[in-house]
Amino acid sequence: MSTTTKVDLLIVGAGPVGLFGAYYAGVRGLSTAVVDSLSQVGGQVTAMYPEKQIFDIAGFPAISGRQLISNLVEQAAPYDPQYLLGQEAQGLEHVPDGEGRERLVVTTSTADTIDAGAVIVTGGIGTFTPRTLPAGEDFLGRGLEYFVPSSAEYAGQDVVIVGGGDSAVDWANMLHPIAKSVTLVHRRDKFRAHHGSVEQMEAAPVEVVLNAQVTETNGGDLLETVTITPKGEDPRSLPCTKLVAALGFTANLGPLREWGVELHDNRHLVVDPAMRTNVAGVFSAGDITDYDGKVRLIAVGFGEVATAVNNAAVHIDPDAQLFPGHSTDQQPAVPQPA
């Protein structure tokens, strides 16, 4: 049975930027709903590197992805945002509110509707789907994985990681202390990953095989071995009980393309300095946005979403102040009763 949720502000995307937006909307006294196609909060951080240490979050010399998301949820909790998870934001309709203004009604993939005064899109890269490893698809869920949400199940395993980007190298560095063996297979001779991470991996007990591909997977109910074929060399078999395909992912803005929002490179939402899109009442922040000089960092997204929330507050109520004052001037939020 479909439901209708009425709030001041709808945030599309429950990654770090969206979660901070939920907190900041609470500071502005706005009731907030957060919708996300994933079944849990945290976006790419939760799905791809929850145990990875993040070093560029202000105030934290290092913090794991999992702890960052937990802290952001705790920070927003006193303002009681509504999380609408496992559903994709789809249709957008402008509806007169009877007082000479418009509200935005968003329909989700579960046929629910959210009636909001403004919308902030913080969807990161949109809906993301991992690029598949054709040679291993038969063992998906039986040895082949595309993400490493937890390192525990890799303890004592023979692990083969395919890829040359940040995720592949980060997972090699994360897993080699606990795995029986870790081999990284990359089809090129150069890495896209951060140079420091590559140096760390090369100094670790990780076998790195370049200019090679995984061409075959074998086993019974579970994966047991893989065949790798280096360019110009004979194939060889490796023991492998866990195969991680870190081949990147394809991003899809999906139904957001139908909202009439101006796009850059057909993948990013163009915003002005107030984080407004060209569609009235629709703002955006985080990696999904684009403007001259854009830098895609979580730290940047936090500032962008605070700007978006403040400007959305004025859009909802033109008599509201753009700058709400400093948090130190306010009474601390009181946790909502369970």
Position 101 scores a pLDDT of 86
Radius of gyration of the chain (CA): 22
Position 14 scores a pLDDT of 94
* 122 in Cβ contact with 34 (< 8 Å): no
**Is 64 in the same domain as 143?**
no
Position 69 in a domain: yes
**Is 234 in the same domain as 272?**
no
Position 214 scores a pLDDT of 97
* 34 in Cβ contact with 11 (< 8 Å): yes
Position 337 scores a pLDDT of 52
Position 331 scores a pLDDT of 66
Residue ranges of the binding site for FAD: 36, 44, 49, 89, 128, 287, 328
* 286 in Cβ contact with 17 (< 8 Å): yes
Residue ranges of the binding site: 36, 44, 49, 89, 128, 287, 328
CATH number at residue 100: 3.50.50.60
Query: What is the pTM for the complete model shown?
Result: 0.76
**Is 224 in the same domain as 108?**
no
**CA-to-CA separations, 249 to 44, 52, 138, 284, in angstroms, rounded:** 11, 18, 19, 22
Residue 65's domain comprises: 4-128+250-329
Instruction: State the sign of the Cα–Cα–Cα–Cα dihedral 21, 23, 29, 32.
Output: positive
Instruction: State the sign of the Cα–Cα–Cα–Cα dihedral 148, 34, 253, 141.
Output: positive
Low-confidence ranges of the chain (pLDDT < 70): 124-129, 250-251, 331-338
Position 315 scores a pLDDT of 97
CA-wise closest residue to 27 among 47, 52, 9, 3? 9
**Is 9 in the same domain as 122?**
yes
**Is 95 in the same domain as 144?**
no
**Is 166 in the same domain as 271?**
no
**Boundary (domain end) residue, out of 228, 247, 266:** 247
Tens digits of residue pLDDT in 145-190 = 988 877 899 999 999 999 998 889 989 999 999 999 999 999 999 9
**Boundary (domain end) residue, out of 225, 247, 269:** 247
Half-sphere exposure of 4 (CA within 13 A, CB side): 5
**Is 152 in the same domain as 78?**
no
**Boundary (domain end) residue, out of 203, 232, 247:** 247
Position 194 in a domain: yes
Domain count of the fold of the chain: 2
**Is 10 in the same domain as 122?**
yes
